[in-house]
Structures are given as C-alpha cells and as structure tokens.
Amino acid sequence: MILNFVKSFKLPQSQRQAERNTSLLQALYSLTWLQWAHFISGLLSWSCDATDFYSVSLSLTSFSTKFGKSTHEVTTAVTLSLLLRTVGAIIFGFLSDRFGRKWPLVANLLIVTILELGTSFVETFSQFLAVRSLFGIGMGGIWGLAASTALENLPVEVRGLASGILQEGYALGCVVAAIINLTLVPAKEATLGPDAWRSLFWVASGLSFFTALFTMMIPESQVFVKAAEGSKGVSVRQKTQIFIQETRKVMKQHWGRFIYMCLLMSGFNFITHSSEDLYPTYLQQTKGFSEHDSTLATLIGFCGGIVGGAFAGWISQYIGRRLTLILYMIISGAIVPLWILPSSFGALTVGAFFMQFAALGAGGIMPIHLSEISPPAFRASFAGIAYQIGAMVSSASAQIEATAGDNIRIIKSDGTTIPDYGTVQGILVGVLAAFVLIVALLGPENHGSHFEKHKAAFEKEGGEDDAYVEDVEYSGRQASNDDPNSKSDRFADVDLDISNVDDERQSEKA
C-alpha cells in the first residue's frame, strides 16, 4: 500500500516519453489561431468574472458609508454571491456538456453584464443584496465553461502552463479592478461625489460585454463539434435521454471522487478568500494605510498570484499536480509571518506578493487537475460544480474574519481598540494550508489524461471512464453514399497520440 502511494506521485512512463519527444515551445508553436482564440475566450471570461466579483471587496468602505451598515453587514453580499455560485455551475455546466461551450458561455457573460450594471444603480441595501445574490448565479457558471473551452482544444503538453495562466485570470481580473479603483474612481469624485464607486462597476460591466461579443465571433469548441458530427442522425430528444441516463450513471459511479473534489476546492477557495477579501480592509483599519496604499499593496499581491499560478501550472507538467499543490501549501504556511508582522508598506507588500504567489498561485493546477480527474464527458459540469461548492463552503470567510476581528482586537496607545485582522488571517491561512496539503496528499491524480478523445455526454457510454473513440478520420459527411452502413470517426485532426491510454489506465488503477 505504501509503495502504491509513493508511485501515485510518479508520472506514467508514456507521459514522460511524450514530453521528452515534444518540447513546450514546439507545442506552443504548433497551436492554430482557433486554439488560441478558444484559450483567450476562456481566459477573458474568468478574468471578467474576477473583476466583477472583486469590485465589491474594493468598495466595501464606500458601501458601508452609503448604506449606513458595518463592514460585517456589507460582507453579506460577498457571502450571498459565493453561496449561489453553485446554482449557476449546475445550470450552465450541464447546458455546456449537453449543448456545447459557446452559447451557454455567451449567455452566462451577458447575464453577468446586466447584473454588474445593475449593481451600479442600487439605492438601498436590500436592492444591493438582491442584485449580488443573482450575480452569484451568473458568476457560478463561468469557471467550468471557461476551463473546458480553454483547455480541451490544446495539446496535452501545453495544458499545465495553460491551466496556470487561465486560473490566474482571476488575479488578472482583480488587478484590473484595482487599477480602475486607483485611477478612474478618484477621477470621478469631482462629478459623482461619494458615488464615484459606480464607475468601477460600469467598466466591469463593459468588459464582460466585450468578452461575450468576442466569444460570439469564434466557432464552437472543436472537440464538441466533432462529437456532434459523430452523432448525426440521432434526434435531439434521443440525445437528451442519453444525456440524462449517462448523468445518472456518472453520479452513481463517481460520488466518492466528487466528494474529494469538493473537499479540495473548499480548502483552496477558503485559503484564497481568507487571504484576499478583507486584505484591503486589514491594511486600512489595522495598519492605518490609506485606501490608495492598501489598493496598491493588494494589486502587488495579485501580481504575485499571476506569477505563482503560471509557474505552478508549468512545473506541474513535470512533477505532477498534487506534488505541486503540496509544495505551494508549505510555502503558504511559511510565509504567514512576513505577511502580517511588518508595519512598513514595503515589507508588507513583499509579504503580500509571496503570500499570493503561494496561496492564489496554487490554483494554477486546478483547471487541469479537476478536468483530468472528472468523468471525461462531464468535465464542464463535474469540475465546475465541485469548484463552486468549494466557493459556497468558503462563502463565510469574509464574515468569519470580520466577526473574529470584532473579538480579537488591538489596544492603541490612546486606549481605543481596532480589529486585529492580521492575526485572524494568519490563523486561518495556516490551518487551511495544512488542510489542503492533507487532502491533496490522499487524493487521486490522472496526469496527462486525453479527455478530448472521449465520447460526449450525449453519446451512449459517454458516462464510462474508458469510452474513448478510435483515432480515424471523420469527414463530417456521410461516410459513403454507396454503403450507408459504413461509419467513420471524428477525431482525425486532433494530433495527439492516444496509444498510451491503456497504459495510463493501468497506472491510475495502480
């Protein structure tokens, strides 16, 4: 048992051989414009999602003043958004696995656009909570669709790096929000006064709308197109019936794997939100920094997340997904003192950079890791729902920190007290890093999975793990006018070798 546990961290021989034969640069050079377009669509979608979500965290002080509510009460909006993201993941995830990636993602982005714009026009606290609750549903669908759109059309050799860059689209979106908050919002104070925060949501809404237009202009995911061509002659009703049957099969066979994924994503989402959501408030209230300096420090931290995520995705291609995650959690725990103890702006920003390099950067493996261990035909819904359940579990992180800050306080020289958010965040990050490490240590891995070679969820046996198709040319038309019974396959132009699938299955079983 111990030997098998140690072997689980080793890459299959076939995967190591493939990576020796094809360098990362060669694989990147071979990408077509369409593959780049699908990846950019996924990256932009996830980045816009983050910009929309983080706009609330950056505006907590403004919302507190406008509605006459405490920071603790305003963070209820963050909690509601996170709670309802699972609903969006279920709706849009299953729509994507059944009908394709493109139009469910476009619809998702348009909903987010409308709700983000609606946030900018709220006048009461009740309206604010209602709009942000609905926003959570729209936000919840994007991650699973963005990950499947971006990764399934890429060669296996590129997916690790692509996963890291894709996931840190979240940090990129937060950086964009921070820059807008630093520049446009102060510039609008002359005309909008205390409501200058509205301009942040206007720009965020516009970015989501642009991404929706971009996604409209590119073709459907080629993997899904080939799957649809392979089932020509089957009615929509029959496809839907098969989809329901295969969904039930997957839920019955893989409930244990799904629970593992939910635990992993709960820990990861908890550690990221615990290190992000109240960090600007912590710098202002506990350290006494201005709003400008706290936003700048937050921006530097997210830059660390972008670097860390890209590096995590790249290195995981060589040492595996779980081992990369374990190393990053060790770094997260070790960096806590540098993150909370200094008092100078320079030292704190260094700590913020390396904390987000590790805590947020660890997410660089998540899109590809969840896609690889999900049932192949259900990777948009399975991975997306698990991710958003993790977000739902971590939804109270901001309120936990705010409540703990009300009880763990620092006595100032004048006798007044302020929340000790630094200690609160340090304890949470340390505990959560240990939790994620243990879950990753005990979990499965399916490094180098060729999920793009699998049958679709609306095809018979699509719910089976080993329902791969043969690598034979498919013309997209009738195989032969003379022989109506002849068949051809649909994965000819996916230039990835699947001869090692059996070897990989044996390694997974071991």
Write the CATH number for 101.
Answer: 1.20.1250.20
| Residues ≥6 apart with Cβ < 8 Å to 471 | 453, 489, 491, 492, 494, 497, 498
Q: How far is CA 372 from CA 151, 244, 286, 341, in A?
A: 11, 22, 42, 39
Positive or negative, the CA dihedral 49, 51, 54, 60 is negative
> Which amino acid is residue 330, in one-letter code?
I
| Residues ≥6 apart with Cβ < 8 Å to 112 | 48, 49, 52, 135, 138, 139, 142, 208
Q: Cβ distance 270 to 393 under 8 Å? A: yes
Q: Does 490 map to a domain?
A: no
> Which amino acid is residue 29, in one-letter code?
Y
Task: Give the total residue count for the chain.
Answer: 510
Q: Cβ distance 251 to 457 under 8 Å? A: no
CA nearest neighbour of 451 among 374, 340, 367, 366:
374
Q: Is the pTM of this model over 0.85?
A: no
Which segments of the chain have a pLDDT < 70?
Answer: 1-22, 230, 470-510
> Which amino acid is residue 163, in one-letter code?
S
Q: Does 202 map to a domain?
A: yes
- In the block, tokens 């209820």 appear at 76
At 121 the three-state DSSP class reads: coil
At 503 the three-state DSSP class reads: helix
Q: Cβ distance 465 to 376 under 8 Å? A: yes
CA nearest neighbour of 147 among 64, 38, 71, 248:
38
Q: Does 418 map to a domain?
A: yes
Q: Does 11 map to a domain?
A: no
Give pLDDT, residue 3. Answer: 56
How distant is the alpha carbon of residue 443 from its chain centre? 19
CA nearest neighbour of 273 among 54, 436, 77, 61:
54
At 468 the three-state DSSP class reads: strand
Burial bucket for residue 236 (CB in 10 Å: 0-12, 13-18, 19+): exposed
Apex CA 351: angle with CA 345 and CA 357, to 5°? 135
Positive or negative, the CA dihedral 224, 229, 230, 236 is positive
CB atoms closer than 10 angstroms to residue 466:
11
Region of 101 (left: φ > 0; alpha: ψ -120 to 50; beta: rest) is alpha
Angle between helices 102-119 and 125-140 (to 10 degrees): 160
Burial bucket for residue 414 (CB in 10 Å: 0-12, 13-18, 19+): exposed
- Compute the distance between CA of residue 441 and CA of residue 93 in angstroms, rounded to an integer: 28
- Compute the distance between CA of residue 429 and CA of residue 452 in angstroms, rounded to an integer: 36
Structural tokens at position 356: 């987000």
Q: Does 15 map to a domain?
A: no
Structural tokens at position 255: 């409930």
Give pLDDT, residue 501. Answer: 40
Q: Does 492 map to a domain?
A: no
Q: Which domain holds residue 398?
A: 32-224+235-453
Structural tokens at position 93: 């995830």
Give pLDDT, residue 89. Answer: 92
- Compute the distance between CA of residue 26 and CA of residue 29 in angstroms, rounded to an integer: 5
Give pLDDT, residue 466. Answer: 78
| Residues ≥6 apart with Cβ < 8 Å to 413 | none
pLDDT tens, 394-426?
A: 877 877 887 888 788 887 777 777 778 888 888
- Compute the distance between CA of residue 51 and CA of residue 204 in angstroms, rounded to an integer: 6
> Which amino acid is residue 507, in one-letter code?
S
Q: Cβ distance 302 to 481 under 8 Å? A: no
CB atoms closer than 10 angstroms to residue 509:
7
Q: Does 249 map to a domain?
A: yes
Q: Cβ distance 260 to 443 under 8 Å? A: yes
Structural tokens at position 159: 């997916």
Structural tokens at position 349: 């920003």
Q: Does 491 map to a domain?
A: no
Our CA dihedral for 341, 347, 352, 354, rounded to 10 degrees, sits at: -100
Domain count, the chain: 1
- Compute the distance between CA of residue 452 and CA of residue 317 in angstroms, rounded to an integer: 17
Q: Helix/strand/coil (H, E, C) string of 389-414?
A: HHHHHHHHHHHHHHHHHHHCEEECCC
Enumerate the β-bridge partners of residue 411.
417
Name the DSSP class of 46.
Answer: H
Helix (H) or strand (E) holding 417: strand 417-419
- Compute the distance between CA of residue 144 and CA of residue 152 in angstroms, rounded to an integer: 12
